[in-house]
Amino acid sequence: MKTYTLKWGKHTLELGGRTAVMGIVNVTPDSFSDGGLYYNIDKAVEHGCQLAESGADIIDIGGESTRPFADSVSAEEELQRVVPVIEKLAAKIAIPISIDTVKAEVARQALDAGASIINDISALRHDKNMADLAAQYGVPLILMHIQGTPRTMQVAPQYDNLIAEIKTFLADAIRSAEKKGVLRSAIIIDPGIGFGKTAQHNYSIIRHLDQFESLDVPILIGLSRKAFIRNTLKAAYGREFAPGSAWVETGTQAAVSASVLKGAHIVRVHNVANTRATLEIADTLKRFES
């Protein structure tokens, strides 16, 4: 497995030997798993601190739901949600904060407030200024694959060659970022589990995650509590499972472990403490691969 060292500003991330954990803080009323739970600024900050104390390496702050069929929100609304949280949280924790947004102006104000990573689920397609901003600020940039938009992505997603098409998409996104001055050493890719994919697609991505190593950048994967896990359990047991249930959390940890053994450098999750325990085992197994 390839290892990487990301250094920027006051932060350093060593990726590859020990899997990094990105903890999720959704400052939204409508996210699929925790919408409304951390919509209050103080609750969001408190949750971010708890995730850091539990062992998160990055805290990801988002102010716009990207669940299937979600509506977009204005930049002004998104800024009102995330900037106060980032300002307060950055004063309390030492680990980097990422801003989960497709809007360059939201990213800019988030970076000014204390964020230091851009997580763009559109891989620069939504806002042509995002790569320029990442280059200007010298911060890591996460580029994710998505077919369609959150509103349309789960309407019969189809691929002729799933892995090849995602790799081509991400390779093009990397080139676009580099052309704008983003250093390759600052780029992270995400194959976009659940973003324009069926359950079969998601399982295939996990199984073949090591094929993305040829892009020569760190790999992030977001699996936590997603519909393919819930639907797998529903098919097996004949009933619905809430996203935050213990069953779905166990399924999440199984998917996390499989992904790490296939080459994930960063996992994006809701429950950091459980994931840290999972990674103690998965990372130990990785060290015995030879």
The residues annotated with a catalytic role in the active site are 226, 268
Burial string for 43-72 (b: 16+ CB within 10 Å, else e) reads ebbbbbbebbeeebbbbbbbbbbbbbebeb
Tokens 């324009």 label which residue?
196
DSSP state of 38: T
**What contacts 24+ positions apart, CB below 8 Å, involve 144-147?**
144/119, 144/120, 144/189, 144/190, 144/191, 144/192, 144/195, 145/169, 145/170, 145/189, 145/190, 145/191, 145/192, 145/195, 145/196, 146/121, 146/122, 146/192, 146/195, 146/196, 147/192, 147/195, 147/196, 147/197
DSSP string, 103-164: -HHHHHHHHHHT--EEEETTTTSS-TTHHHHHHHHT--EEEE--SS-TTTTTSS---SSHHH
DSSP state of 72: P
